[in-house]
Amino acid sequence: MVGFLKPKMNLACSILFVKSASTKAGFAIKAAGLVDEKFKCLICRLILKRPMVLVCGHHICFGCIAIDRNVHCPKCHEITLASQIQQDNDFESEIYELHSSCYLCEWLGVLKDYQTHLEKVHEIYECLHCCETFDSAVTLNQHKENVCPNVIINCILQPFGCKEQDSFCVAKHLNIISITTISGQSHYEDTLDKDLQSLDTTIPSVTTASSSADQQMCVTGTIIDIADSVRVLNRGLEKLNDQFLQQSQSIETTGQYLQVLNALHGESNESVKTHSTTMGILQQESSELKQQLAEYQSTSYDGTFLWKLTDIGQKMTEARTKHKISIYSSAFYSSPTGYKTCARLYPYGDENTFGTHMSISFVVMRSTNDPVLFYPFNYEVTFCLLDQTDQQRHIIRTIRPDEQSNCSQRPQLDMNTPTEIPDFVPLYIFEQVNNPYVRNNTMFIRILIDFENLPKTLLPYVMSLNPGLPPHTRQKLIQQEMERHQRVSQAEDASTSRQN
C-alpha cells in the first residue's frame, strides 16, 4: 500500500480574515476637538469614515470593526449582532458636508473632497476594503494583493459551482476540503484493499479454469490498470497535502502577525493617553506662565503706571452697547513690597455719567504684604490723559480715597470699593477732528500715587516727563523742579516784602 500524508487544518485560519482593531480608519483633521462628538468614531476618535450604525444608535467607522463579528458598543456597552450592523448613508452625507482643514497643510474645504486632496497633494492612498492608508500606490497594491483581509476573492470551489466571494466562505471551504480529503483518502484505501483482495481471488480461479495465454494477459492488464490508478491517486493526494501545508503555514504566520499588531496597538494606546495627559498639563502651565509674564512686563513697582489702551474705538463701542462697560488695568505696586492697586476705566461713562463723560476709578487690592502695611490708604492719586502731540495739553485729575470708607481700608476681599472720578473726560473731546488724545486707535493714561505731597502746580511737569526715563532719573528731575519752584517762590516773597 502507498502511504498518504494526512493534512491538518491550523486553528489560525479562524483569525486570518478578522480585521485588526488597530487600524485608524477615520479622517484626521486639524481642530478635531471643535467638531461635534456625534461625528467622531467611538473607537479611533477621528472623524467618521463610512459610518456604521449600531442598534443603540451610535456610530463606528467601517474600518474600525470586523463586520463578521458582534460589536460591543464602547459608549453604552450594548451588543449589536454582526447581521444588525448597517451603513448609515444619510449620516455619511451629513458628515461629508462638514468644513475641515488638512492636518498636513493649510488646505480648507468640505470633508467629501478631503481624501482626493490627500491623494493628490500628500500622496496618501486609502484601501477601499479596510480604510487603511498608505504613502504610495505601490504599497497600496501590495497591501491589497498580499495583506488586506477584506479584499473580495473568488472561492477556490468556484469551478464546482460555488459563487461566494468573501473571506469567511473561503476559510469554511478550506476546512471542508480538508475533512473531505481525509475521508476520501480512507475511502480510496478501502477501495484499493477490496480490489487487491478481489484480484487475489480472481487469479487462482482464472488459472484453475484455464491456463491459456489470453486469460493471463487479461489479468496482467487489470493489475497494471489498478497500479496506474493508485499512482495517479497518490500524486493527487501529495499535491493536496503540499497545498494544505502551505495554507496552514500562511495562516499561522498571519495569526502571529495579528497578535503582534494587537500588542503594539495596546502599547500605542497607553502611550497616547500618557502623552495627552502630559500635553494637557503642559498647555495649562504654559497658559499660566504667559499670563504671569504679561502681567510682569506691564507691572510697575514705583507707584506710577502707564496704561496703554489699544483698539479704543472698539472698546468705546462695546461700552456704548453695554456689552462691556468697563476695563481693568494690570495691577501695579507702590514698591516691590508695597500696596497693590489697579485702575478701572468706563469708556462711555459709569451709571451716573453714561453717554456724557468717560469715567475712571482707583482700586486698592489685597496683597500678601497687607498685614505689615499701614491703613487706611490716604494718599492722593493723579490720573492724566496724555496729549500725544507736541502741545502737551494733558487732562489731569486728582482724587484722595475717603479714610472712613471701605475703599481705603485693609482689603478683606480681592478688591476694595473703587474711588471714582465719574466726569474724568467729556466724551465730545473724542469726537473732535484730529483728537490729540487718540492716535492709531490708542490712548495712554498715566497714573501717579503721590507719597510726597507734590504741589499741584508741579503735576503738569511730572506728567510731561519722558516715560522712558528710569525711576531714579525721573525722581531726580522732580526734585530739581521742586527746588526751582521753591527758589522762585522765595524770590517772589522777598520782592513782595521789599515793595511793602
Which pLDDT does position 161 carry in this prediction?
56
* Closest C-alpha to 478, from 499, 500, 451, 498: 451
Q: Are strands 71-72 and 125-126 parallel, antiparallel or unpaired?
A: unpaired
- Domains in the chain and their CATH numbers? 19-120 (3.30.40.10), 153-272 (no CATH), 304-470 (2.60.210.10)
* Closest C-alpha to 312, from 431, 193, 401: 431
3-state helix, strand, coil in the chain (%, to 5): 45, 15, 35
* Closest C-alpha to 327, from 350, 294, 306: 350
Over the chain (500 residues), the average pLDDT of each successive run of 10 is 35 30 66 84 89 92 79 90 88 90 88 84 72 71 70 57 52 52 53 56 47 63 77 83 86 88 86 86 84 71 91 94 93 92 96 94 94 93 94 92 90 94 94 91 94 82 82 83 82 77
Distance CA 148, CA 23 (A): 11
Distance CA 285, CA 108 (A): 31
Which pLDDT does position 338 carry in this prediction?
92
Which pLDDT does position 271 carry in this prediction?
83
Distance CA 89, CA 35 (A): 20
Cell numbers given for 76: 453604552
One-letter amino acid at 277 equals: T
DSSP assignment of 140-193 equals HHHIIIII-TT-----TTGGGT----SHHHHHHHHHHHHHHHHHHHHHHHHHHH
DSSP secondary structure code for residue 341 in this structure = E
Which pLDDT does position 187 carry in this prediction?
54
Distance CA 132, CA 147 (A): 11
Distance CA 315, CA 148 (A): 60
Give me the sign of the Cα torsion angle 330, 333, 338, 344: negative
Residue 368: partners with Cβ closer than 8 Å, 6 or more residues away: none
* Closest C-alpha to 48, from 131, 145, 133: 131
Cell numbers given for 382: 493723579
DSSP secondary structure code for residue 344 in this structure = E
Which pLDDT does position 493 carry in this prediction?
78
